[in-house]
Amino acid sequence: MTWKEVFTSSVGKKLVMSFTGIFLILFLVVHVGLNACIWANDGGTMFNAGAHFMGNNVVPRILEIGLFVGLLLHIIQGIMLELSNRSKRNVKYAIDYGNQGSKWYSRSMGLLGTLILIFLVIHLADFWIPNRAHQGFLLGEEINLYEKMKLEFSELWVVIVYTLGCLSLGYHLAHGFQSAFRTIGVHNKRYNLMLTSLGYGFSVVVTFAFIMMPWSFFLHIIQ
């Protein structure tokens, strides 16, 4: 069995989804943790220091390349899997099987993933691209990211788009977290129960924290 055969098999493709998924979950921990610095409510000093470190230290910059590779793999493999899985039943049922034994979001990972992707494009164009462009190369002078957030999130529609984007992420995680561990072979019932609970907890906490960020600015909870 060559590696090519492994990674082109249905289980191998799922392994790619799972490994990249877990990597992306770890990234979310860093992202939410760093962003939480806005709640220090010190006019952005702590948050901007964190943002500066992430943009100028070599370790996070290298990890960032890994992050984009992982993200691309997750997206491309995800789209291919979804299309392939959809092609396996040409004649549909007259009566849908529905929610028996499965949650709607577990059956909608492709749709949720697409919504997250759309949100991600908006999000990167809002912050990451202008920020990196100003850090070091190209345009000199570093952006005050905290002020930028304040400005962006003074518009209600932006806040709503971010809320919807984060909700899609939350539901994607609610299934993705536990599914990733099942795919790498966690079959012990007790571990699975723990991971499922942890997954739900993680999805709720991370989603809530992310959603609260734009709202905190919009509602002037932080200055």
Residues that bind another protein (CB under 8 A): 1-3, 5-6, 9-15, 81, 84-85, 87-98, 100-103, 106-107, 109, 175, 178-179, 182-189, 192
Decide whether 12 or 43 has the Cβ nearer to another protein. 12
CB of 141 to another protein, least distance (A): 46
Question: Is the Cβ of residue 106 or residue 144 nearer to another protein in the bound state?
Answer: 106
| Least separation in angstroms between CB 211 and another protein | 26
Residues 109, 172: Cα–Cα separation, whole Å: 6
CB of 103 to another protein, least distance (A): 8
Residue 205 C-alpha from the chain's centroid: 13
Question: In this complex, which beta carbon is closest to another protein, that of residue 5 or of residue 141?
Answer: 5
Q: Return the closest-CA partner of residue 148 out of 133, 136, 168.
A: 133
Read off the tokens for 24: 């992306």
Residue number, 52 or 103, with CB nearest to another protein: 103
Nearer Cβ to another protein, position 89 or 220?
89
> C-beta of 84: minimal distance to another protein in Å?
7
Give 172's contacts (C-beta < 8 A, 6+ positions apart): 105, 109, 112, 113, 116
Q: How far apart are CA 199 and CA 13, in angstroms?
A: 22
What gap in Å lies between CA 59 and CA 61, rounded to an integer? 5
Report, in Å, the least distance between residue 115 CB and another protein. 17
Q: Which amino acid, residue 126?
A: D
